[in-house]
Structure 1
């Protein structure tokens, strides 16, 4: 198993649940400006990022898992440099935005339920 990224959620913005219900999750590293923190999940990475995930890699958010379907051209650089990424659980085969990672659809209510301080997000792949 290759771990591409592992982080722990530290704070959940007041507008995150509504976005999660729509299949969107925005991560920012701890210390994000307040206006960004309102719509974001703040997190603290627990180690260096590995190589970029390929299509078929797995995103684990607490007890949920989804397969990566597309990675935007600047998404991995933003994750590793700034701790910022937008996950879109829409099953798209091509990211609409360069900083986006797309994954298989998951239930928005289930996603929102996993988003609490202390939850781990892990991006991993077999091999």
Structure 2
């Protein structure tokens, strides 16, 4: 994610989410303020950036001889989330941050309950 002249890199299996904001309507027809929505156990938001995934260990024996200069590229198990997905996640497992006066959440892949994609054909292909 680019932010003015900075690039924001999400690491590991973490996902950067722009949370839903604003007022929601209760089943009784009452409008709930954002402070009530923030206390909900399950929250939702738009995925704006994803990390590379969970790093895999090196299959070679480079750990036996750490002085060797031989180094391979790190390989990852990719995250299931993609930019543009709508995610439902556990609110207590999220970390709130501000980037250029905008609110975002950092959520681990394990805290995401479901992902909603608009293009189902892309997922099945």
- Could you state the TM-score of these two structures normalised by the residue count of structure 2? 0.30
Report which structure shows greater RCO (CA 8 Å, sep ≥6): 1
- Could you state the TM-score of these two structures normalised by the residue count of structure 1? 0.29
Greater helix share, structure number: 1
